[in-house]
């Protein structure tokens, strides 16, 4: 039996074991997937046991801390300086399957990143999303609160040093919620919420005004709990294509299984799994 795990701290309830178990069943893999709560100060002592697994995922706070333990990094991890998937073997190779899950979710939404993209938030996932959208040819604006402007500018500087010619700029959220004034009334093809605004249990919050939503062609919210965020409901109410983050969660897990076991999943199976996971929330 192959053995896999998710490491992080703290680890509360996670859908990852259920998702990976379902994916392994679809792929005919005899394997198990467990949760390992590992404080950062214990990572070094417990790495020997991790190296004996066939592979593992890493979440906060280990996405950067695990890098020194990798023999090498795949381009997906090297580009963003973040690892969330490790394949063990003669080499310990670090990947970033979050980017695969994000890109495939946008494909499923039926839009392209090579367009005008507005990203709200510049935390770990926001940095990856903004950089990947720019890498794929997007003209990207990153909207952040004043306290996070330096982080956003640092992300932009790094992206420009790694990917010359990318189009990235910042916008400042002046009143806690992104307004049309903050973006000078510009229109965008795609709005992405990469902030925690609207996440359970504060489900009555929206990261931007209705006017901002009206200026955007499609909406992607990385939040998957609740399965329908207020931003998602507002966008759908305006007749806009919209998606929340469960697809990204499932598709990044599918990418990990592809890396670990060489599995290729049918789109219909993945869509069904996404629906099933949403029903569990």
Give the chain's mean pLDDT: 96
The pLDDT-based confidence of 259 (bands split at 50, 70, 90) is: very high
Evaluate if pTM is beyond 0.85.
yes
Instruction: Provide the pLDDT for residue 193.
Output: 98
Instruction: Please give the helix or strand (H or E) that residue 73 lies within, else none.
Output: strand 72-73
Instruction: Provide the pLDDT for residue 231.
Output: 98
Interatomic CA distance for residues 241 and 254, integer angstroms: 24
Instruction: Provide the pLDDT for residue 80.
Output: 85
> Which three-class secondary structure string do you get for 142-211?
EEECHHHHHHHHHHHHHHHHHCCCCEEEEEECCCCCECCHHHCCCCEEEEEECCCCCCCCCCCCCCECHH
Residue 208, by phi and psi: left (phi above 0), alpha (psi -120 to 50) or beta?
Answer: beta
User: Does residue 63 carry a catalytic annotation?
Assistant: yes
Spell out the domains of the chain, with CATH numbers in brackets.
Answer: 2-96+247-279 (3.40.50.10860), 111-240 (3.40.50.720)
Catalytic residue (one of 2, 3, 25, 63): 63
Residues 158-185 have pLDDT tens digits of 888 888 899 999 999 999 999 999 999 9
The pLDDT-based confidence of 11 (bands split at 50, 70, 90) is: very high
pLDDT(147) > 90: yes
């Amino acid at each position: 039996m192959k053995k896999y795990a998710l490491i992080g701290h703290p680890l509360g309830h996670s859908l990852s074991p259920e998702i990976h178990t379902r994916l392994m069943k679809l792929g005919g893999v005899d394997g198990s997937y467990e949760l390992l709560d590992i404080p950062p100060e214990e990572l070094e002592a417990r790495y020997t046991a991790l190296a004996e697994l066939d592979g593992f995922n890493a979440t906060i706070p280990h996405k950067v801390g695990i890098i020194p333990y990798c023999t090498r990094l795949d381009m997906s991890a090297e580009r963003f300086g973040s690892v969330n998937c490790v394949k063990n073997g003669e080499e310990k190779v670090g990947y970033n399957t979050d980017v695969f899950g994000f890109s495939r979710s946008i494909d499923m939404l039926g839009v392209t990143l090579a367009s005008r993209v507005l990203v709200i938030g510049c935390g770990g996932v926001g940095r990856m999303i903004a950089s990947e959208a720019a890498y794929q040819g997007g003209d990207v604006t990153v909207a952040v609160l004043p306290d996070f402007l330096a982080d956003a500018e640092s992300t932009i500087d790094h992206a420009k040093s790694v990917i010359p010619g990318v189009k990235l700029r910042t916008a400042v959220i002046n009143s806690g919620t992104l307004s049309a004034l903050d973006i000078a009334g510009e229109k965008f093809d795609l709005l992405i919420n990469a902030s925690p605004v609207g996440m359970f249990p504060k489900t009555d919050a929206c990261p931007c005004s209705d006017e901002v939503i009206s200026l955007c062609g499609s909406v992607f919210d990385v939040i998957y709990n609740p399965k329908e965020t207020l931003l998602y409901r507002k966008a759908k109410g305006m007749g806009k294509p919209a998606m929340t983050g469960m697809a990204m969660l499932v598709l990044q897990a599918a990418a990990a299984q592809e890396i670990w076991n060489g599995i290729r999943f049918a789109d219909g199976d993945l869509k069904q799994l996404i629906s099933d996971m949403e029903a569990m929330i």
